Amino acid sequence: MKAGFFVTGTDTDVGKTWTTIALMRWFQMQGLSVVGMKPVAAGCEWQDGMLKNSDALLMQQYASVPLAYRQINPYAFEAAISPHLACGDVEVSMDVISDGFIRLQQLADVVLVEGAGGWYSPLSSVLDNAGLAQALRLPVILVVGVRLGCINHARLTMSAIRHAGLSCAGWVAVQIDPKMPGFDGNLAFLQEVIEVRLLGVLPFLAAADFELLAPNLSLPNWQKVDVHQKK
């Protein structure tokens, strides 16, 4: 069974990429082939004569099958600013992204698509993450970076996902501040008010260790997630 998920976050720098790679490893541990896609990325650096993004390079490294860099990240921009500014005069085409996603689906059992920034963060002058997820018709996995303000951001994002007519496969809590007071209390409150399953809690790590992070996740009945939910 082919499957896909759109990974979004409550904000930028909340742990989306680490969550995405940990999810890739979790699916691989279930015996499935997995690839990741980062359609639009800003803050890229020149490597081997082309702009490359560190998040997309991690996806390339952990993919179950060999992929060319542009298969993972078709739109890479150098400036470390919002993609809708970093893209300049470059048109970010939904057709290009959709075609790339379909080709990736033919190569693996599961495709994880990671957005850039939060749910309504713009990817170009005409496209944002919400529009990208709607165009791909993917169930959403929400990454909540647990810090001051995250309850409001998480509830607003969940409301926006529902408003978009998309299903949510669950949410992941990421401990991004090891010294945050009240972490357990905030986590418990989020579990009460977010109406979908908590897929796992990723502990704070100073450096990425996806073999350690992946077992903290669980996606029961992932094959049954409704990818055709309407408003």
**Annotated binding-site residue numbers for Mg(2+):** 17, 55, 114
Per the annotation, binding residues are: 17, 55, 114-117, 174-175, 203-205
Q: Return the bridge partners of 200, or none.
A: 172, 217
Return the residue matching tokens 């418990």: 188
Token pair of 217, please?
A: 């996740």
38 catalytic, yes or no?
Answer: yes
Pair of tokens at residue 180: 């945050």
User: How far is residue 80's CA from residue 86's CA, in Å, rounded to a whole number?
Assistant: 7
**Contact indicator for 139, 224 with CB cutoff of 8 Å:** no
Nearest to 167 by CA among 117, 131, 133, 202: 133
Residues placed in the known binding site for ATP? 55, 114-117, 174-175, 203-205
- Residue in this structure with the two tokens 């977010």, named with its chain if needed: 194
Residues 6+ apart with CB under 8 A from 199: 141, 169, 170, 171, 172, 217, 218, 219
Q: Smallest Cα–Cα separation from 55: which of 139, 115, 132, 142?
A: 115
Catalytic residue among 2, 16, 38, 231: 38
- Strands (E) located in the chain: 3-9, 34-37, 40-41, 45-47, 50-52, 75-76, 110-118, 140-145, 168-174, 198-202
Catalytic residue numbers, as ranges = 38
